[in-house]
């Protein structure tokens, strides 16, 4: 398997010139972020850790996998030591507030760091990803007493967290959850079984804090009767020391296609006396509390699509430079490395262009999250949060669909060697496959985008998104070849987007099935347009820097060429999706079941 080197040059460009990380220093609590040297140092150190510590464990972890022995899950060799180094270096605490030991740095910067953790070792990064989601849920919903017990240890990384939703009969349909709670004096007893629990048990930390969705004692049926509970692996004594083992245990590990080093557990709660749990938020409001954690995780999973695509791209480029095969059609000099063949070059440029579009989207949404968390004006804060909510399903679904496609292209670049496990190309493809499924399948993300984000506010937030795209189009230069291409295809794409939003708002009330059948191509359209929009913002900065003689001309010209190719090869497809959205949905819903 090839090495991993974080693409720091592009990361810095996107952070500084596309999402304007320096401007975030004006937000309350982020004043230190004006220190560019500090930002550069953080990125450099993260790159070293990802490349030198995590990446070398990736293929080994895939081969060895996690295992369960006598009711205890053992991490793959080297993972525990790597985790302790990672936590001791403070990487887990980056975006959280200082009240419980966090560093209070922006989510936008943290997103760049997480791209490195994901790309270097996806199975490893899944463990702290769920911890960060648990922290976010507790920060927003837990009582001060619960926060004082758990947040310090979770933020430091001394303990890890999990999210426990699905059950054998309840995957995405949370209303079918059967796990139940019984009220005691100052706690609850939880009983039930959960499946597909990422890093549900392991031996890397002393304690694991499970966030569990279960039925309230007297709650109504369906999702309205669900509450959220903290269920620690070990109970915590009043002095902060660990007490007795709670009644929660891993029952088994799933045998999976990929991410083998990440244990996916079947968890049993309350198989004897009942698992002690503590209510987070109010009874019967578990869904609201859990969605905080799920949104955090969905942004993180979308980032995984970008990250694993970057790792696969680096591998494809390295292989294409080394693999000597055939004589390129345009050059009769003899056999050459395959990077000289037109179709290989097309595949590599397509990978690169979509990766840079995804990077812009992921980092921009993270910056909007910073604004939603820290802007003091309540109207502006609400607008930023609405934009985050609108874009989360796009990030999750479009980036993971695209990431999976890019890992498949990596296998194709390798040819027959890509189908051989020892090259490592297959691992990236296998690992990427789950990203389109967990944290809500991408079809569910599309329905969320349509029903909860577009229809619920009558398309108002979508209009604000479109206005932002049109504002960028107005600032482009039609005399510049690259920007002229972006103007044409962005204009066509945003026109189609607005037409689709109008059609959905008219169609949904009378025929929600027909509207729903167009949700996935609509999300793809929005992803293509979003990526093109943020690449366009980058071209303005890159061209301005070239004109001023600032920066690395080779890198900046590469940014322009990559954006140009994205516009012609990918953004151009956005407007063509309007027909499948409107016309194709009729065919989908008119098919008789027996005709499938």
Asked whether residue 591 is domain-assigned, the answer is yes
As a whole number, mean pLDDT of residues 70-95 equals 96
- Same-domain status, 197 and 268: yes
Question: At CA 561, angle to CA 560 and CA 566, rounded to 5?
Answer: 100
Asked whether residue 336 is domain-assigned, the answer is no
The DSSP symbol for 593 reads G
Nearest to 427 by CA among 115, 78, 64: 64
- Same-domain status, 221 and 251: yes
- pLDDT recorded at residue 38: 87
What is the total count of domains within the chain? 3
Query: Predicted confidence band at 508 (pLDDT cuts at 50, 70, 90)?
Result: very high
Query: Predicted confidence band at 35 (pLDDT cuts at 50, 70, 90)?
Result: confident
- pLDDT recorded at residue 521: 97
Asked whether residue 95 is domain-assigned, the answer is yes
- Same-domain status, 205 and 136: no
- pLDDT recorded at residue 546: 97
Report the CATH number that the domain containing residue 114 is assigned in CATH. Answer: 1.10.540.10
Nearest to 443 by CA among 326, 524, 369, 352: 524
Report the CATH number that the domain containing residue 234 is assigned in CATH. Answer: 2.40.110.20
Beta-carbon contacts of residue 53 (< 8 Å; ≥ 6 apart): 82, 85, 86
As a whole number, mean pLDDT of residues 73-86 equals 98
C-alpha–C-alpha distance, residues 235 and 228, integer Å? 17
As a whole number, mean pLDDT of residues 31-40 equals 76
As a whole number, mean pLDDT of residues 503-528 equals 95
- Same-domain status, 177 and 268: yes
Asked whether residue 376 is domain-assigned, the answer is no
Q: Which of 254, 284, 314 is the last residue of a domain?
A: 284
Helices (H) and strands (E) in the chain, counts: 19, 12
Tokens 């975006």, residue?
A: 95
As a whole number, mean pLDDT of residues 542-563 equals 97
Q: Which of 156, 188, 221 is the last residue of a domain?
A: 156
3-state class of 302 per DSSP?
helix
Which range is least confidently modeled, 46-60, 122-136, 289-303, 558-572?
Answer: 289-303
As a whole number, mean pLDDT of residues 246-259 equals 97
3-state class of 243 per DSSP?
strand
Catalytic residue numbers read 439
Query: Predicted confidence band at 136 (pLDDT cuts at 50, 70, 90)?
Result: very high
Asked whether residue 310 is domain-assigned, the answer is no
- Same-domain status, 31 and 136: yes
CA distances to 112, 306, 438, 480 from 115, in Å? 5, 7, 18, 32
- Same-domain status, 466 and 508: yes
Query: pLDDT digits over 197-228, tens only?
Result: 999 999 999 999 999 999 999 889 999 999 99
Whether 166 has a pLDDT exceeding 90, the answer reads yes
Asked whether residue 424 is domain-assigned, the answer is no
- Same-domain status, 477 and 505: yes
- Same-domain status, 57 and 201: no
Query: pLDDT digits over 295-331, tens only?
Result: 888 999 999 999 999 999 999 999 999 999 888 888 7
Percentage of the chain surpassing pLDDT 70?
Answer: 99
Asked whether residue 388 is domain-assigned, the answer is no
- Same-domain status, 478 and 586: yes
Residue 184: CB atoms within 10 A of its CB come to: 11
- pLDDT recorded at residue 170: 86
Asked whether residue 168 is domain-assigned, the answer is yes
- Same-domain status, 101 and 59: yes
Query: Predicted confidence band at 33 (pLDDT cuts at 50, 70, 90)?
Result: low
Q: Which residues constitute the domain of residue 583?
A: 448-596
| 3-state SS record for 474-512 | HCCCCCCHHHHHHHHHHHHHHHHHHHHHHHHHHHCCCCH
b/e per residue, 315-333, with b = 16+ CB within 10 A? bbbebbeebeeeebeeeee
Which range is least confidently modeled, 89-93, 173-177, 474-478, 549-553?
Answer: 173-177
3-state class of 59 per DSSP?
helix
Whether 444 has a pLDDT exceeding 70, the answer reads yes
- pLDDT recorded at residue 1: 61
Say if CB 189 and CB 239 are below 8 A apart: no
Q: Which two tokens stand for residue 29?
A: 């609590």
Annotate 313-372 with DSSP letters as a single string. Answer: HHHHHHHHHH-B-S--TT--S---BGGGSHHHHHHHHHHHHHHHHHHHHHHHHHHHHHHH
- Helix (H) / strand (E) element for 245: namely strand 242-245
- Same-domain status, 571 and 479: yes
Whether 251 has a pLDDT exceeding 90, the answer reads yes
- Same-domain status, 113 and 56: yes
3-state class of 103 per DSSP?
coil
Query: Predicted confidence band at 34 (pLDDT cuts at 50, 70, 90)?
Result: low
Q: Which two tokens stand for residue 505?
A: 């708002």
3-state class of 176 per DSSP?
helix
Query: Predicted confidence band at 32 (pLDDT cuts at 50, 70, 90)?
Result: low
Whether 293 has a pLDDT exceeding 80, the answer reads no
- Rounded to the nearest 10°, the torsion over CA 444, 447, 451, 454 is 120
Q: Which of 156, 182, 212 is the last residue of a domain?
A: 156
């Amino acid at each position: 398997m090839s090495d991993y080197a974080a693409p720091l040059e592009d990361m810095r460009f996107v952070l500084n010139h596309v999402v304007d990380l320096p401007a975030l220093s004006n937000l309350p609590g982020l004043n230190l972020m004006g220190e560019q040297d500090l930002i550069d140092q953080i990125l450099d150190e993260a790159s070293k850790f990802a490349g030198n510590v995590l990446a070398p464990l990736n293929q080994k972890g895939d081969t060895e996998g996690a295992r369960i022995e006598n009711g205890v899950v053992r991490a793959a060799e080297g993972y525990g030591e790597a985790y302790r180094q990672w936590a001791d270096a403070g990487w887990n605490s980056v975006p959280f507030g200082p009240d419980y030991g966090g560093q209070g740095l922006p989510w936008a910067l943290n997103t760049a760091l997480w791209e490195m953790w994901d790309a270097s070792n996806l199975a490893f990064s899944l463990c702290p990803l769920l911890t960060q989601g648990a922290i976010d849920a507790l920060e927003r919903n837990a009582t001060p007493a619960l926060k004082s017990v758990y947040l310090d240890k979770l933020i430091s990384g001394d303990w890890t967290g999990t999210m426990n939703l699905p059950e054998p009969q309840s995957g995405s349909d949370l209303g079918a959850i059967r796990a139940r709670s019984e009220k005691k004096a100052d706690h609850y007893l939880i009983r039930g079984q959960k499946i597909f629990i990422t890093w549900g048990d392991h031996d890397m930390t002393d304690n694991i804090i499970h966030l569990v969705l279960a039925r309230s004692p007297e709650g109504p049926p369906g999702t309205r009767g669900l509450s959220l509970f903290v269920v620690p692996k070990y109970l915590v004594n009043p002095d902060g020391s660990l007490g007795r083992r709670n009644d929660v245990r891993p029952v088994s590990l799933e045998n999976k296609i990929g991410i083998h080093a990440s244990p996916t557990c079947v968890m049993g709660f309350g198989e004897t006396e009942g698992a002690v749990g503590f209510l987070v938020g109010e009874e019967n409001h578990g869904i609201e509390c859990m969605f905080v954690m799920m949104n955090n995780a969905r942004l993180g999973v979308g980032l995984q699509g970008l990250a694993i695509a970057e790792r696969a791209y680096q591998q494809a480029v390295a292989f294409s430079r080394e693999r000597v095969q055939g004589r390129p059609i345009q050059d009769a000099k003899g056999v050459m490395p395959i990077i000289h063949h037109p179709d290989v070059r097309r595949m590599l440029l397509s990978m690169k262009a979509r990766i840079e579009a995804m990077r812009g989207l992921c980092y921009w949404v993270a910056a909007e999250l910073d604004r939603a968390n820290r802007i003091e004006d309540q109207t502006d804060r609400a607008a930023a949060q609405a934009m985050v909510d609108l874009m989360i399903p796009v990030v999750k679904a479009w980036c993971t669909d695209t990431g999976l496609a890019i890992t498949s292209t990596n296998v194709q670049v390798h040819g027959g060697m890509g189908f051989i496990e020892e090259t490592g190309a297959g691992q990236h493809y296998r690992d990427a496959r789950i990203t389109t499924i967990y944290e809500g399948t991408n079809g569910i993300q599309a329905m969320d985008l349509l029903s909860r984000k577009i229809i619920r506010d009558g398309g108002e937030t979508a209009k604000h998104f479109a206005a932002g795209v049109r504002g960028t189009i107005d600032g482009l230069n039609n005399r510049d070849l690259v920007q002229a291409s972006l103007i044409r295809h962005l204009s066509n794409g945003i026109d189609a987007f607005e037409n689709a939003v109008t059609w959905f708002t008219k169609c949904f009330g009378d025929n929600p099935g027909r509207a729903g059948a167009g949700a996935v191509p609509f999300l793809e359209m929005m992803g293509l347009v979003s990526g093109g929009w943020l690449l366009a913002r980058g071209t303005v900065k890159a061209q301005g820097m070239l004109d001023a003689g600032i920066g690395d001309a080779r890198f900046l010209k590469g940014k322009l060429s990559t954006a140009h190719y994205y516009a012609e090869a990918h953004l151009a497809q956005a407007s063509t999706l309007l027909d499948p959205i409107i016309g194709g949905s009729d065919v989908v819903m008119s098919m008789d079941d027996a005709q499938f």
